[in-house]
Amino acid sequence: MQKKRLSKQQMANRLAREFRDGWLVNLGIGIPTLCSNYDQGDKQIVYHSENGVIGYGPIYPRGEEDPYLVNAGGQYVSLVDGASIAHHADSFSIIRSGLLDLTVLGAYEVAENGDFANWKTAGRLGGGIGGAMDLAVGAKRVFIAMQHTTRGGTPRLLKRCALPITAKGVVKLVATDLGLFEVTSEGLLMWEIAPGYRPEEVQELTEAPLIISDRLEEMEA
């Protein structure tokens, strides 16, 4: 079988399948924003955006957008019945009060113990952590969507984060273009794998040792 890494939308779809009916879910900038495109069927998911849009739906295609309605990533989105627009400060009150059931964030690195880094790259002066630290500690759960390796092929799933950490020990689930990984007390448990890949090939691209599930499945691509 031909090897096939997942697209950004496919990674987002895989995490979106884990959302539970009635959840209030924040979607961070980058790949996570694509989760709102996933058809949840009968499940009612309320999407929260850092800039104050609460209760939005799929990203609008070009030519159909409302120029005054965007998510945290600046993408044009649609509203669903019952949606509301909140002041930025009120949006952060929701985040900091612990009302979020989940936040989905992007990352540069994730460690096997659930630490993650997503605000500063190596050699970069300054940097802005933005609302990531609030989301990481304010949400009940943290999922990560990211590419498995850097453009140069360096692993992003590590034993310990090398970059400045956003939050410690908060990540529960990671979707990459090579697999689905759960953070456990024993380490990173791989539940699903990209089409055509073997576990040992994914391990070669991962610094942290992987625990392979006895029920390992191929990811939908």
175 within a domain of the structure (yes/no): yes
Q: Which two tokens stand for residue 178?
A: 């090579």
40 within a domain of the structure (yes/no): yes
DSSP code string of 35-64: GGGS--TT---EEE-TTSEEEEEEEPPTTS
Contact 202, 216 (CB under 8 A): no
Q: What is the pLDDT of residues 74-127, one digit of tens each?
A: 999 999 999 999 999 999 999 999 999 999 999 999 999 999 999 988 766 666
Q: Which of the residues 18, 50, 64, 109 is marked catalytic?
A: 50
CATH code assigned at 180: 3.40.1080.10
Whole-angstrom Cα distance, residue 164 to residue 109? Answer: 10
User: What pLDDT sits at residue 126?
Assistant: 64
Pairing of strands 24-27, 187-193: unpaired
Grade residue 154 by pLDDT with cuts at 50, 70 and 90.
very high
Contact 45, 83 (CB under 8 A): no
1 within a domain of the structure (yes/no): no
Which residues form the domain of 29?
8-218
pTM surpassing 0.85? yes
41 within a domain of the structure (yes/no): yes
Contact 69, 79 (CB under 8 A): yes
2 within a domain of the structure (yes/no): no
Contact 100, 62 (CB under 8 A): no
Q: What is the pLDDT of residues 183-199, one digit of tens each?
A: 999 999 999 999 999 99
pLDDT surpassing 70 at residue 169: yes
Confirm whether 50 is a catalytic residue.
yes
User: What pLDDT sits at residue 124?
Assistant: 67
Summary count for the chain: helices (H), strands (E): 4, 13
Grade residue 129 by pLDDT with cuts at 50, 70 and 90.
confident
Within its chain, how far is the Cα of 27 from the centroid? 7
Amino acid (one-letter) located at 179: G
Phi, psi of 76 (to 5 degrees): -75, 130
Whole-angstrom Cα distance, residue 145 to residue 104? Answer: 7
3 within a domain of the structure (yes/no): no
Report which DSSP code applies to 149. B
Counting the structural domains of the chain, the total is 1
pLDDT surpassing 80 at residue 156: yes
User: Cβ-count burial of 136 within 10 angstroms (0-12 exposed, 13-18 middle, 19+ buried)?
Assistant: buried
Within its chain, how far is the Cα of 183 from the centroid? 14
